[in-house]
Amino acid sequence: MNHSVSIEIGSQIIMLLAALMLVLQLLLVVQRMLLINIRLFALQSLMLTAIATVVAYYYNATHVYIVAVLTLVGKVIFLPWLLNRLVRRINIVQEIEPLFNAPTSMLICGGLTLLGYLVARPFTTLHKLGNNTLAIAITLLLTGFFLMINRRKAISQVLALLTIENGVMLAAVALTTYGMPLVVELGIFFDVMVAVMVLGILVYRIRESFDSMDTSKLDQLKG
Amino acid sequence: MELMLLLIVPLAAGLLCFATNSRAGWERLNLGAFAVVAGLAFKVAGDVAAQGTVTALGGFLRADALSALVLALIGFVSLVCSIYAVGYFRRDESAGKITRAQLRRYYVLTPLFVGAMLLVPLADNLGVMWVAIESTTLASVLLVTFYNQKTSFEAGWKYIIIGSVGISLALFGTVFTYYAGVGLPGLETHGGMNWSVLVGVADKLNPQAMRLAFILVLLGYGTKAGLAPMHTWKPDAYAEAPVPAAALLGAGFINCAIYAIMRFDVLAEKCLGHAFPGKLLAGFGVASILVAVPFVLVQRNFRRLLAYSSIDHAGIMVAGLGFGGKLGAMGAALHMLFHGVTKPLMFFCAGNVQQHFGTPYFRKVHGVMHTLPWTGGLFLVATLAVTGTPPFSLFQSEFNILSGALAADRGWMAFLFIGGVVTIFAGFLVHMSKLSLGVPAQPGPRVAECPWKLSAMAIVAVAVIGLGFWLPGPLYELVRQTTQIIGGAP
């Protein structure tokens, strides 16, 4: 097969997967059942794994394969399992009414997507594999912020943080052509795992001492 | 070798504390480890001042003058905090406020926290630096929630969520910096994220990517440094954490965050010229000073007052960096040094007052001088020092930064800067004079002060007063070289 053709196919696969990540993100924004949210996040991470695998295949880069495996083990299997367990233990299944209702959230996220494409425009070229996914990475970051403001349950905020992280990793894999040095990827992976565990401890403690997981009740400290 | 030991010693101390089960053991391990860390940090600082940059592990760890300055500060702050912590937690334990498990948590996590802080200035790779800064957050969040109160969880939650959002922006910025160099010769190998490599080719980096990267990094690490408007976690975290941990955050970690901003500023200035990063930095810096002003004036809680002072000082450092030129850069470096040395004294005195009177509110505490003469007196000294009153050293650095602003022809910025700093000085003086002097609410007898806490305070006080008159040769040399690095001068 001609190399330039194969790069083109790779680029399209990556684009498709990245678009799916965005769709899953939008579903996360409107879905209020926590267990389904966790599954959506796991699926989104699976797309990221697939993107990393495609990049690794086309550039024949061993350390990107390692990144793919780490993402699969950490974000597709381990973290969703951990969060699932936490949700069952604190026995809360559904997010309460968010700040903005579903149609308004959708509109805002549409605007954020537009903004993402505007910011990414100067960097979008078709010469390199996956450079055009930058807009999606920035959109994931922005909608992640929105998700964090919009939701009030502590667990939803953890999920929002993880989707922001997915956006950054998408940029790292796609933008820099072959990912970052392995030691950095390993460090980031380790930090994310520990962060979620620490957040899990906090969620549990907050639930215990406030009898609620609603972060809008965390309002005693002022001035 | 020293660079590696700097990371291994705190890590080992943390793990050993985990395996130990006696208070004496924890205290000795912490004191010993931090004494060694401080000694090593000072030795590295001396070496760098005399012979220039040192590296280890094939360039993975690298310490130039800027790193050495931050290392020495972390070494100093963590040592005095560990001395203070002994007295502080013994008192908490005898008052029945904390359990053995909590005590262990403090003594295990603190060395890990300090170890992560030490990695920040040592890592040459900007990605590893990011990992280190994120690790400090993770190691310290359970120190913020130490007292297991509702308010501690609220503070801890804000601390980790706001911090993590900020830090993910910084990671995005780091990725963009890496991308800005993609395609340049010499960056395709493992060194592509190394600061020492990037700085050599900074003028060839993609300017558009670098501009976006710098904005993201400034927002991200600015959150960790507590620049307005991303500062909202700071008052909560500083007021809820136990005093030694708050002092580590406010006098130690703040330097790591500012350090990261400085590293990226050097790259951005080489790539884009001074105007763009300079304007952003000066804007955020002066805004932080101005945001702190009203909160200082109407503050009712002296622990939170310290946090607003810290926001103010982060603003001053960043503003100095933004005004640029030799004066601004030198002011920023000096301010980092003097602030880091002075701030622990404020925290320690505030801790003594809070432990003795059982409240952090100004209205319930008057005339500390009568019951705790040393604490009351040193609190006033620290207040004058930290607000930049001559002859204390912070006056010198603030004056430098102000001159930098005028030299860069930023009259308005200079006006706002000096207005903010002077108003904060006035606010502090009113609060603190009532607290320290004044007539006590219930006149009590003079109380003997804890020797551990007093000796930690004495060490800091000697350093604060000494630095007002004399800057030792190696320290001056470090500041001079740091100015060259961040000022971009030949």
Q: What is the pLDDT of residues A8-54, one digit of tens each?
A: 788 888 889 999 999 999 999 988 888 999 999 999 999 999 999 98
CB B240 within 8 A of CB B144: yes
Q: Which residues pair with B296 in a beta bridge?
A: none
Contacts of A86 (CB under 8 A, 6+ apart): A155, A200, A203, A204
pLDDT in tens, B42-98: 999 999 999 989 999 888 999 999 999 999 999 999 999 999 999 999 999 999 889
Which residues of chain A neighbour B175 with C-beta distances below 8 Å? 168, 171-172, 175-176, 180
| Per-residue model confidence (pLDDT) at position A1 | 46
CB spacing of A195 vs B164 below 8 angstroms: yes
pLDDT in tens, B401-426: 999 999 988 889 999 999 999 999 99
Measured between CB atoms, which of B153, B155, B175 is closest to A209? B153
**Residue A18 sits in which domain range?**
3-214
C-alpha closest to that of B467 among B350, B340, B349: B340
CB B13 within 8 A of CB B29: yes
CB spacing of A187 vs B127 below 8 angstroms: yes
Measured between CB atoms, which of B128, B172, B298 is closest to A187? B128
| Per-residue model confidence (pLDDT) at position B490 | 39
* pLDDT-derived band at A128, boundaries 50, 70, 90: low
Residue A35 belongs to a domain: yes
The count of other CB atoms within 10 Å of the CB of residue A194 is: 15
Q: Is the dihedral of CA B11, B14, B15, B17 positive or negative?
A: positive
**Number of domains observed in the structure of chain A:** 1
DSSP string, B242-269: -HHHHHIIIIIIHHHHHHHHHHHHHHHH
For residue B301, give the 3-state DSSP assignment: strand
CB spacing of B148 vs A205 below 8 angstroms: yes
Q: For the purposes of burial, counting CB atoms within 10 Å of the CB of B54, is it exposed (0-12), middle (13-18) or buried (19 or more)? A: middle
Q: Contacts from B198-202 at CB under 8 Å and sequence distance 24+?
A: B198/B126, B198/B267, B199/B266, B199/B267, B199/B270, B202/B266, B202/B267, B202/B270, B202/B271
Amino acid at A23: V
CB spacing of A215 vs B157 below 8 angstroms: yes
CB spacing of B168 vs A164 below 8 angstroms: yes
Q: Give CA–CA dist B208/A125, Å, rounded.
A: 14
C-alpha closest to that of A213 among A150, A161, A149, A151: A151
Q: Which residues pair with A82 in a beta bridge?
A: none
Which residues of chain A neighbour B154 with C-beta distances below 8 Å? 218-221
Which residues of chain B neighbour A90 with C-beta distances below 8 Å? none
CB spacing of A221 vs B240 below 8 angstroms: yes
Average pLDDT, integer, range A107-126: 85
CB B394 within 8 A of CB B335: yes
| pLDDT reading at B324 higher than 70 | yes
| pLDDT reading at B169 higher than 80 | yes
Of residues B112 and A213, the one with the higher pLDDT is B112
* pLDDT-derived band at A3, boundaries 50, 70, 90: low
What are the angstrom distances between the C-alpha of A168 and each of A142, B168, B346? 11, 7, 39
Instruction: Please tell me what DSSP assigns to residue A97.
Output: P
Q: Which two tokens stand for residue B151?
A: 């308010």
Q: Give CA–CA dist A205/A15, Å, rounded.
A: 41
Which residues of chain B neighbour A215 with C-beta distances below 8 Å? 157
Distance from CA of B134 to the nearest CA of A (A): 7
Give yes or no for a cis peptide into B391 (omega within 30° of 0). Answer: yes
> Is the ipTM of this structure higher than 0.85?
yes
Which residues of chain B neighbour A154 with C-beta distances below 8 Å? 157
| Per-residue model confidence (pLDDT) at position A126 | 58
Q: Which two tokens stand for residue B280?
A: 């952003």
* pLDDT-derived band at A125, boundaries 50, 70, 90: low
Give yes or no for a cis peptide into B472 (omega within 30° of 0). Answer: no
What are the angstrom distances between the C-alpha of B421 and each of B255, B324, B387, B418? 20, 19, 8, 5
| Per-residue model confidence (pLDDT) at position A177 | 60
pLDDT in tens, B126-138: 999 999 999 999 9
CB spacing of B127 vs A195 below 8 angstroms: no
For helices B275-297 and B411-436, give the axis angle rounded to 10 degrees: 30
DSSP string, A35-65: HHHHHHHHHHHHHHHHHHHHHHHHHT-HHHH
Instruction: Name the closest residue on chain A to residue B132, using Cα atoms.
Output: A187
Distance from CA of B47 to the nearest CA of A (A): 28
CB spacing of B128 vs A157 below 8 angstroms: no
DSSP string, B131-182: HHHHHHHHHHHHHHTTT--HHHHHHHHHHHHHHHHHHHHHHHHHHHHHHHTT
CB spacing of A195 vs B212 below 8 angstroms: no
Residue A222 belongs to a domain: no
Which residues of chain A neighbour B7 with C-beta distances below 8 Å? none
Instruction: Name the closest residue on chain A to residue B138, using Cα atoms.
Output: A195
Distance from CA of B181 to the nearest CA of A (A): 9
Average pLDDT, integer, range B276-299: 95
- Chain A residue set in contact with B, beta carbons under 8 Å: 119, 122-123, 141, 145, 148, 154, 157, 161, 164-165, 167-168, 171-172, 175-177, 180-181, 183-184, 187-188, 190-191, 194-195, 198-199, 201-202, 205-206, 209-210, 215, 218-221, 223
CB B195 within 8 A of CB B124: yes
Which residues of chain B neighbour A188 with C-beta distances below 8 Å? 127, 130-131, 134, 171
pLDDT in tens, B429-467: 999 988 888 787 776 777 788 899 999 999 999 999 999
* Residue of A198, A203, A207 to mutate, testing the B interface (most B Cβ within 10 Å of its Cβ): A198
Which residues of chain A neighbour B166 with C-beta distances below 8 Å? none
Contacts of A117 (CB under 8 A, 6+ apart): A135, A139
Instruction: Please tell me what DSSP assigns to residue B361.
Output: B
H/E segment holding residue B63: strand B61-63
Distance from CA of A100 to the nearest CA of B (A): 21
Measured between CB atoms, which of B157, B208, B295 is closest to A223? B295
CB spacing of B131 vs A187 below 8 angstroms: yes
* pLDDT-derived band at B190, boundaries 50, 70, 90: low
Q: Give CA–CA dist B218/B222, Å, rounded.
A: 5
Which residues of chain A neighbour B190 with C-beta distances below 8 Å? 181
pLDDT in tens, B369-411: 888 889 999 999 999 999 999 889 999 999 999 999 999 888 8
| pLDDT reading at B321 higher than 50 | yes
CB A158 within 8 A of CB A199: yes
CB spacing of A168 vs B134 below 8 angstroms: no
| Per-residue model confidence (pLDDT) at position B50 | 92
For residue A214, give the 3-state DSSP assignment: strand
| Per-residue model confidence (pLDDT) at position B251 | 95
CB B259 within 8 A of CB B275: no
CB B11 within 8 A of CB B111: yes
* pLDDT-derived band at B167, boundaries 50, 70, 90: very high
Region of B43 (left: φ > 0; alpha: ψ -120 to 50; beta: rest) is alpha
| pLDDT reading at B116 higher than 90 | yes
Residue A148 belongs to a domain: yes
CB spacing of A221 vs B178 below 8 angstroms: no
Instruction: Name the closest residue on chain B to residue A206, using Cα atoms.
Output: B153
User: Nearest 5°: CA angle at B38, between B37 and B44?
Assistant: 90
Measured between CB atoms, which of B145, B193, B295 is closest to A202? B145
Of residues A214 and B424, the one with the higher pLDDT is B424
Share of chain B above pLDDT 70, in %: 98
CB A214 within 8 A of CB A152: yes
- Mapped to the 3 state alphabet, what secondary structure does A146-167 carry? HHHHHCCEHHHHHHHHHHHHHH
| pLDDT reading at B180 higher than 90 | no
Q: Which two tokens stand for residue A203?
A: 């969620």
CB spacing of A206 vs B157 below 8 angstroms: yes
pLDDT in tens, A185-204: 888 898 999 999 999 888 88
* Residue of A194, A202, A207 to mutate, testing the B interface (most B Cβ within 10 Å of its Cβ): A202
Of residues A221 and B361, the one with the higher pLDDT is B361
What are the angstrom distances between the C-alpha of B25 and each of A97, B5, B80, B94, B103? 51, 21, 18, 17, 12
Q: Which two tokens stand for residue B91?
A: 């008192």
| Per-residue model confidence (pLDDT) at position A36 | 92
Average pLDDT, integer, range B337-342: 96
Instruction: Name the closest residue on chain A to residue B299, using Cα atoms.
Output: A223
CB B312 within 8 A of CB B289: yes
Residue A104 belongs to a domain: yes
pLDDT in tens, A135-184: 899 999 999 999 998 888 888 899 999 999 999 988 888 776 666 788 88
CB spacing of B153 vs A154 below 8 angstroms: no
Average pLDDT, chain B: 92
CB A162 within 8 A of CB A42: no
Q: Give CA–CA dist B223/B248, Å, rounded.
A: 17
Residue A100 belongs to a domain: yes
| Per-residue model confidence (pLDDT) at position B184 | 73
